[in-house]
Amino acid sequence: MKRLFIISALVFLLANSGMAQNITGYWKGTLSLGPTELELCFDIKQSNGTITATLDVPAQGAYNIPVTSISFEMMKLTMAIAPLNATYEGTMVLNNIVGEFTQMGMSLSLNLSKGEKAEKPRRPQEPKAPFPYKSEEVFFKNSREDFTLAGTFTIPEGEGPFPAMILVTGSGAQNRDEELMDHKPFAVIADYLSRNGVAVLRFDDRGVGSSEPGNPDATSFDLSYDAEAAFDYLLSRKEVIPLLCGITGHSEGGYINFMVAQRRPDVAFLISLAGPAVTGAEVMKLQQAEVYRGMGMPEQAIEQNRVISEQVFAIVEKYDTPDENFRKEALGYLAKLGVPDDVAVPMIDQYGSPWFFYFLKYDPAPAIREVTVPALILNGTLDKQVVSYQNIPVFREIAKETGRDNMRIVELEGLNHLFQHATTGLPTEYATIEETISEEVLALMLEFVKTIKK
């Protein structure tokens, strides 16, 4: 009995002193998501007796996500990653950690082993100085809400003035380069166009980079006034031709540009990069099915998700605002289906946020129908987020209905939502592709702008 007590005490001392050193390092593990896999990497450090960690998800271009709490006691590692609403619990067994990763109520096996921190993937298109054009840090004001936005204005060399455009990012808070998955598509677009005679203004979204926050509950409608402020600034510059200033938007930005052009007849042209032509609810229903199917989810599960989503979106449609009555009805519906609270509540919190609620209900088709300036509409056949076979036919039908011969619609074979040449089109693939944006898309944009007449 005494011997057992001594052994137990020894294990306790090892677990809480010298052995704790073993937890430091770069730990890698793979989540199995049906036929696809996702690598998670935890960088665990120890200083002055305090353990800290960050999470990298290389395939999603996400690095240094803060681990908000971490403990390692009696060989058991526990971590919480608040930004992802996720946790990890594991036990050290020899040189590995055996455990589970939990997010949104779903738990998956995740075993970790020490490895080397991989270098970030190559991005051969990312612009490198020196540049054959001028580049300025600029500031302008959204006078509707009275706050300042910041951006970069690139001006071609040579005698101006020049045709010009602003760039409007997709959904989510992004910087002026629309940086995501370790790509900088707007930097690549601005570089290409300004090398070829087009001035470009790209700007940080509100609350990102050097831009002030503005209203934190902004919807796409509110964000359209950020874009309009950028457009006004563009018109104020002597280097541009006012009659040849347009707006290019990606994803959500691809219908925000039509919103602005509805109000502003002085917008000379529009370029929609994977912009929706149907309501957000319709976009989401097909997006979910395409992504889940691409990940190998069984058709029965995809159908069950479709039925749930359709009903929740129908509840959204009944309400003007995401008030408590909306939450009560939506959560009540999910409870009847047996959806646990730790899944249902975050889902309704997301759909009931001001931005998402507006997105689900907003139909861009009337604005697309009303705006008659020259427009270039691009969508990739492997886009799983704004699906081309859902949206391109709507653009074509509107062009036919309105007799528009100045709306050029191009469906690009094999390109994903970022206009990369892709294999699956799944978002998990974005960061693994070296190409940031297809050269064909860049050439189409330049060619289109050059055709715009005063």
DSSP per-residue letters across 301-327: HHHHHHHHHHHHHHHHHH-SS--HHHH
Q: Which domain holds residue 326?
A: 281-360
- Residue 409 CB-half CA count within 13 A: 20
Residue 14 lies in a domain: no
Assess whether 267 and 397 both reside in one domain: yes
Assess whether 347 and 411 both reside in one domain: no
Residue 145 lies in a domain: yes
Assess whether 293 and 222 both reside in one domain: no
CATH classification of the domain holding 411 = 3.40.50.1820
**pLDDT tens digits, residue range 90-100?**
999 988 999 99
Reduced to 3 states (helix: H, G, I; strand: E, B; else coil), residue 417 is: coil
Residue 124 lies in a domain: no
Assess whether 338 and 371 both reside in one domain: no
Residue 5 lies in a domain: no
What pLDDT sits at residue 16?
39
pTM: 0.85
Assess whether 243 and 140 both reside in one domain: yes
Assess whether 137 and 210 both reside in one domain: yes
The segments of the chain whose pLDDT lies below 70 read: 1-21, 34-35
Residue 347 lies in a domain: yes
Question: Are 228 and 263 contacting, i.e. CB atoms less than 8 angstroms apart?
Answer: yes
Assess whether 155 and 257 both reside in one domain: yes
The count of structural domains within the chain is: 3
Containing 334, the helix (H) or strand (E) segment is helix 324-336
Residue 271 lies in a domain: yes
Residue 446 lies in a domain: yes
What pLDDT sits at residue 45?
94
Assess whether 286 and 301 both reside in one domain: yes
Assess whether 266 and 140 both reside in one domain: yes
Question: Are 274 and 419 contacting, i.e. CB atoms less than 8 angstroms apart?
Answer: yes
**pLDDT tens digits, residue range 15-49?**
333 344 479 999 999 998 766 788 999 999 998 88
CATH classification of the domain holding 73 = 2.40.128.120
Two structure tokens written together for 172: 């989510």
Query: Which residues make beta-bridge pairs with 25?
Result: 44
What pLDDT sits at residue 13?
36
Residue 77 lies in a domain: yes
The tokens 């302008």 sit on which residue? 140
Of 308, 333, 360, the residue at which a domain comes to its end is: 360
Assess whether 297 and 265 both reside in one domain: no
Assess whether 220 and 142 both reside in one domain: yes
Query: Which residues make beta-bridge pairs with 76?
Result: 73, 91
Assess whether 355 and 373 both reside in one domain: no
Of 305, 337, 360, the residue at which a domain comes to its end is: 360
Of 360, 388, 407, the residue at which a domain comes to its end is: 360
Reduced to 3 states (helix: H, G, I; strand: E, B; else coil), residue 49 is: coil
Phi, psi (rounded to 5 degrees) for 302: -65, -40
